[in-house]
Amino acid sequence: MKYYNSCLGCGVSLQTTNENKNGYILNENNKYCLSCFKLKNYGQYTQKIIDTNEINKIIDSVIENASNSRIYYLIDLFNLHTSINFEILEKLNKNNVETVFIINKVDLFRDISNLEKITDFFVEYIKNLGFKEPMFLIMNNSSKKLIAELILVIQECNKNQYFIGVSNSGKSTMINSMLKELYNNNQIVESYIPNTTEKIIPLSIENKEVFDTPGFSRDFSILKNIDPSFLREFNPEKRIKQFTFQLNDGHSIVLDTLFGISVESTVKVNIHIYVSKKTNLHRTKTVNLENYILKNIVNYDYLSKFERSEMSYKKYKIKANNDFVIYIADIGWIVAKSNEQFNLSLSSIYLNYINITSHYQDNDFIWYNHIKD
Ligand SMILES: Nc1nc2c(ncn2[C@@H]2O[C@H](COP(=O)(O)OP(=O)(O)OP(=O)(O)O)[C@@H](O)[C@H]2O)c(=O)[nH]1
Ligand SMILES: [Mg+2]
C-alpha cells in the first residue's frame, strides 16, 4: 500500500488527527486531503486556514534559491493590475532569475490578433523594471495548441521550472492541462476559489522537474470577503462581455448592488463596462440610486458577509475626448468618454472592500479593444 506525505491536489502535509486542520485524511493511504477530495469530485468547498505569510515565505525561498531555476510568472489578463506584484518582480530581477512571463486567460478576450499590443506593452513595462531579456508567452489553458507549445518550452529547458503568480492566475490549470495532454492525468486541484494550492507541488513533465506553487497575496481582493458558494459568479469562465451605455447627467448604472456609476455632465457620456456576463447592470436615476441599492441588496446574497457603511463616493473629473479607464479588481473595468469635460462618481456602501485604480487610456495600450463586439 502506498502512503502519501502530502496531498496531490494542494500540496499540504496529510494528517489523520485533526478534522479541523488542513490536510485531514480519513485513511492513511488517501492521496488527497478531504478538502481537495470534496472540491475535486463534488465541487464542494471546505473552509481552509490560509497563512499568507507562509505563502510569501515559500515564494521568497523559491526566488532566493533560483540560481538553477527558471520561473514562469503568470499574469491574469482579467486582473492585469493586481497580477503584478512589484516586490516579487524586484526580487526576481535582483536575483537575476531567468523569468518567463506568461500572459494567461487570453480566451476571455475576443480578438487575439490585437494581443501583440499587450505583449509590446509588457515587454516595455518589464524592461523598464530592469529585466534585460524577458521572455513572454501568451496562454489560454483550454487551447491544446498553446499547451502543446508550452510542453515544448518545458522540454527544452534543463533547469528546475517553477510556476508562480497571484492566486487564481491559472498555474494549476496550466500544469494540469499539460499533464492531461501527456499522461491523461489531472492530479492537481484547480478551482475558482482563491488559494487552492497551499504548498509547492513537485511534478514531472517529459522528465523535467516542474513545480506548482501557492498563489501569492490576494489581500486586496474583494473575493476574500465573499462567501465561497458565490465565488463562481465572479469567475469569468467565458469571454468577458462589453456593455455600452450613454449616460445623461443625473443618471446612474448599478452593478449588482455593489456600486453605482453616475455622471454630472452637460452632454451624454459613453460608458463601456467590461465584466462577466453574469453581472447584472441596472439603469436608474441618480436620486434613486441609494434606495435602489438598499432595496435590492437582499437579492445579492454574496454581499451579506460585508460590513456595510454609509454610502461613500469616489469622484473623478474627466477631461474631454479622453478614454478614462477605471479598474475594479476581480470585477472588471469601465471606460468612460465624452466630448466635454464631465464628472464621474462611483458610489457604494462597500467602497472599502473594493480595489479601484484608474488612468487615462494610453493610445499605445488599447488592450481592452479586443473584446469590443
Ligand atoms: N478563462 C480562463 N480561465 C482560466 C484559465 N486558466 C485558469 N482559469 C480559471 O481560473 C481559476 C483559477 O485557476 P487555478 O489553476 O486554480 O489558479 P491558481 O493560479 O493555481 O490559483 P492558486 O492555487 O489559488 O494559486 C479557475 O476557475 C480556472 O478555471 C484560462 O486560460 N482561461
Ligand atoms: Mg493552484
pLDDT in tens, 82-140: 888 889 999 999 999 999 999 999 888 765 555 666 667 777 778 888 888 788 898 99
Residue 330, sorted as left (phi over 0), alpha (psi -120 to 50) or beta, turns out to be left
Q: How far is the CA of 196 from the centre of ligand 1 (A)?
A: 10
What confidence score (pLDDT) does residue 113 get? 53
pLDDT of residue 165: 97
Q: Which of 22, 48, 150, 168 to mutate to test the pocket of ligand 1 (most atoms within 8 A of CB)?
A: 168
* Alpha-helix runs per DSSP H in 285-366: 289-296
Give the residue carrying C-alpha cell 477605471. 326
Cβ atoms 270, 338 nearer than 8 A: yes
- What's the pTM? 0.89
The stretches in the chain having pLDDT less than 50 are: 363-373
Please list every protein residue whose CB sits less than 6 Å from any atom of ligand 1.
104-105, 107-108, 140-141, 165, 167-173, 190-192, 194-197, 214-215, 235, 237
What is the pLDDT at residue 372?
A: 34
Strand order, beta sheet including 324-328: 241-247, 269-275, 332-337, 324-328, 356-360
Which amino acid, 233? E
Q: Which three cell numbers stand for residue 310?
A: 454609509
- Distance from the CA of 250 to the center of ligand 1, in angstroms? 39
* Cβ-contact 369, 114 below 8 angstroms: yes
Distance 107 CA to ligand 1 centre (A): 12
Q: Write down all domains in the chain, each with its CATH number in brackets.
A: 1-49 (no CATH), 50-219 (3.40.50.300), 232-371 (no CATH)
- pLDDT score, position 227: 80
According to DSSP, the residues that pair with 316 across neighbouring strands are 344
Where do the DSSP E strands lie in the chain?
A: 69-76, 98-104, 135-138, 160-165, 201-205, 208-212, 241-247, 251-255, 259-264, 269-275, 281-285, 312-318, 324-328, 332-337, 342-348, 356-360
